[in-house]
A and B are shown apart, each in its own frame.
Chain A
């Protein structure tokens, strides 16, 4: 039954989005990537005149700032799009009046959320492909592409993003707010997870907060699989830490989601 719910949810979401979201929505998502890259390019070339501090290479594992930023912003785009859509699925059901009819059915929520995640991964990957092509224009260069590491990094990252989505979804459903919750989280991710600059530049306290977000390790793993810069031991340790952290998010997320569902249904009662 889990597989039925999984595929049916992928199909349903696809059909709904096909009707609901115009092409301009996808374009606006791509512009996020373009603006991030453009901003970094302008800062790097016009403001810093192509100069980097001596410790950048040490922290980043590469001296190519533009490639560093483009990989970071692509990952950020992926996180935002996945978390945004997966986490707000139930809140969308609540707003569209289908939450109670959905909750009436005896299905497992995991298949439902995974279905949403799968569709989102496919659509975001297509958007990302375009972002990478734009990134090439801004100077993206893949020096040390390691297919094995890349596949593992992508799988672990998806696992981590799914965990964040669950937790964010709980918050959204509980507060019935999507705007403030998601934007706060995305701002934190952008600042603390090493998207446009190495996290080591941040004060220690902020680095610790950043380490609690799976995106930080996900960005490091993806960057290393494309640009190199981390030893095999460090890479394995980071991968293990990401797996454990994501598992904690997921293990906490499902029971919390059940609780948030119940609270949301009770709040519907006024």
Chain B
């Protein structure tokens, strides 16, 4: 288990006052972040740009030293024994970094394997099985610079697993990839956690991806932990009220006004907001029967009426907006 307690990172930056003088300023990139990652779990770390996700990951991967706080991997203190921890972890980043473009896929994995001190016989077998897993075995000897974006990203996954780590950190692993490759990668990430029992910490801007993959989510805002929980816990926390999508034939402003008046009689806190088709009605009271009744009473033909489950995306967007305010 990865156990993180009150992890903080503060940078001291120089700000120039004029041509000759400058002053130092402290920037708190991450403040008192605590979290747990178990083997076999996929944990999401979310936040808008500058929230501190990448800094947190870099501290957890021992690339950056924390200013304060502690974190351990299966009981090993990472600040005190970074070399021991390095053997147990690896990182997969999005984009096209972390690979030697002029080497082939096989050569890349071989070199990284040597840096981890893996025995040559073990390494050969592992390279083959990893390249087969990510579907690159047939092209193992081609230079990486000739690979497509998706192939490079798949090779990144293989590189991130070369030392057979117990914990894998994934920083925006599907950034810039098309839907088909993203879906394949999702499958591989799930297999890593479910079948190979690896603990995975995933950051992503694609909330649908987090919703699909993650068992538990941490949300950072301005370097601080805003909220944590399962997808259901987060949406329940944010959306305590019921939501219904509603539209009738010939829906216009007049109908909306009538609906709003009826809703306010039914629930003084009820709200209506525009959707692509029709409106989204929000209330603390049961809505389906009320809306059906309203349509019948006014003589409207219902086109759409269903209870809307709030998505993680809705919840995160709302939380982020609130945090900004």
Residues of A within 8 A of B (CB): 1, 4-5, 7-8, 11-12, 15-16, 19-20, 96-98, 100-107, 262, 265-266, 269
- B100:A12 contact, CB within 8 angstroms: yes
B107 adjacent to A98 (CB under 8 Å): no
Residue total for B at the interface (Cβ-Cβ under 8 A): 38
Could you mark each residue 195-236 of chain B with 1 if its beta carbon is under 8 Å from any beta carbon of chain A, else 0?
000000000000000000000000000000000000000000
B97 touches A98 (CB 8 A): yes
Contact for A8 among B83, B84, B111, CB less than 8 A = B111
Closest to A112 in B: B115
Residue in chain A with minimal CB distance to B85: A106
Complex Cα distance A262/B67, Å? 13
B54 contacts across to A, CB distance below 8 A: 269
A98 CA to B159 CA, complexed, in Å: 12
Chain B contact residues, majority secondary structure: mixed
Closest to B65 in A: A262
With A105-B116, A262-B64 as known contacts, state yes or no: A97 contacts B97, CB within 8 Å: yes
With A15-B102, A266-B11 as contacts: A105 and B86 at CB distance below 8 Å: yes
A195 shortest CB reach to chain B, Å: 34
B177 at interface by CB-CB < 8 Å: no
CB contact under 8 A between A97 and B64, given known A8-B115, A104-B86? no
CB proximity of A25 to chain B, nearest CB, Å: 14
Q: Are A15 and B29 in contact (CB under 8 A)?
A: no
Nearest neighbor of B120 in chain A, beta-carbon distance: A4
Contact status B98-A100, CB under 8 Å: yes
List of 8 A-B pairs having minimum Cβ-Cβ separation, nearest first: A97-B97, A8-B114, A105-B115, A101-B98, A106-B86, A19-B102, A1-B117, A106-B83
B95 contact set on A, CB distance < 8 A:
97
Stretch touching chain A among B55-63, B243-251, B315-323: B55-63
Interchain Cβ contacts under 8 Å between A and B, 15 examples? A4-B117, A8-B111, A11-B111, A12-B103, A15-B103, A16-B100, A16-B103, A97-B95, A98-B98, A98-B100, A100-B58, A104-B63, A106-B116, A262-B65, A266-B11
Q: Bound state CA distance, A15 and B61, in angstroms?
A: 28
Q: Mark B90-113, 1 if CB is under 8 A from A, else 0.
A: 110101111111110001001110
Residues of A close to B91: CB separation below 8 A: 100-101, 104
Query: Could you count the A-B residue pairs with CB atoms below 8 Å apart for me: how many are there?
Result: 85
Residue of B63, B101, B112, B143 near A100 (CB, 8 A) is: B63
Q: Give Cα A76–Cα B161 distance, bound, in whole angstroms.
A: 44
Q: With A15-B103, A269-B11, A269-B64 given, is the CB distance from A101 to B97 under 8 Å? A: yes
B contact set with A: CB distance below 8 Å: 11, 29, 54-55, 58, 61-65, 83-84, 86-87, 89-91, 93, 95-103, 107, 110-112, 114-117, 143, 159, 163
Distance in angstroms from A102 CB to nearest chain B CB is: 7
Instruction: Indicate the member of A4, A7, A105 with the most B CB atoms within 10 Å.
Output: A105
Residue of A20, A102, A106 with most chain B CB atoms under a 10 A cut-off = A106
Indicate if the CB atoms of A266 and B64 lie closer than 8 Å: yes
- How far apart are B297's CB and chain A's nearest CB, in angstroms? 59
Residues of B within 8 A of A262 (CB): 64-65
In the complex, what distance in Å separates the CA atom of A20 from the CA atom of B101?
10
* Least CB distance, A14 to chain B, in whole angstroms: 11
B11, B83, B87, B102: the one contacting A16 at CB < 8 Å is: B102
**Complex Cα distance A269/B11, Å?**
10
Given the interface pairs A101-B91, A265-B64, the reply to whether A5 lies near B114 with Cβ below 8 Å is yes
Residues of chain B contacted by A7 (CB below 8 angstroms): 114
A residues near B159, Cβ cutoff 8 Å: 101
Rounded to whole Å, the gap between the CB of A130 and the closest CB of chain B is: 25
Partner among B55, B100, B115 whose Cβ is within 8 Å of the Cβ of A269: B55
Smallest CB separation, A148 vs chain B (Å): 36
Instruction: With both chains docked as a complex, state the minimum distance between the C-beta of A101 and any C-beta of chain B, in angstroms.
Output: 4
Q: What residues of chain B lie closer than 8 Å to A104, measured between beta carbons? A: 61-63, 86, 89-91
Q: How far is the CA of A102 from the CA of B86 in the complex (A)?
A: 11
Q: Which residues of A contact B63 (CB under 8 A)?
A: 100, 103-104, 265
Contact, CB under 8 Å: A269 / B58? yes
A12 touches B90 (CB 8 A): no
- Is B114's CB under 8 angstroms from A4's CB? yes
Q: How far is the CA of A201 from the CA of B115 in the complex (A)?
A: 49
Report if A107-B98 is in contact (Cβ < 8 Å); known contacts: A15-B107, A266-B64.
Answer: no
Extra A-B contacts (7), CB below 8 Å, given A8-B110, A269-B64 = A8-B114, A12-B100, A19-B102, A105-B116, A106-B84, A107-B117, A265-B63
Max chain A Cβ within 10 angstroms of own Cβ: one of B87, B112, B114, B159:
B114
Min CB distance B78 to A, Å, is: 12
Hey, which chain A residues are within 8 Å of B100, CB to CB? 12, 16, 96, 98
A105-B63 Cα distance, complex, nearest whole Å: 10
Contact of B101 among A5, A96, A265 (CB under 8 A): A96
The residues of A that contact B103 with a CB separation of less than 8 Å are 12, 15-16
Q: Does the CB pair B101–A105 fall under 8 Å?
A: no
Q: Cα distance A5–B65 when bound, in Å?
A: 24
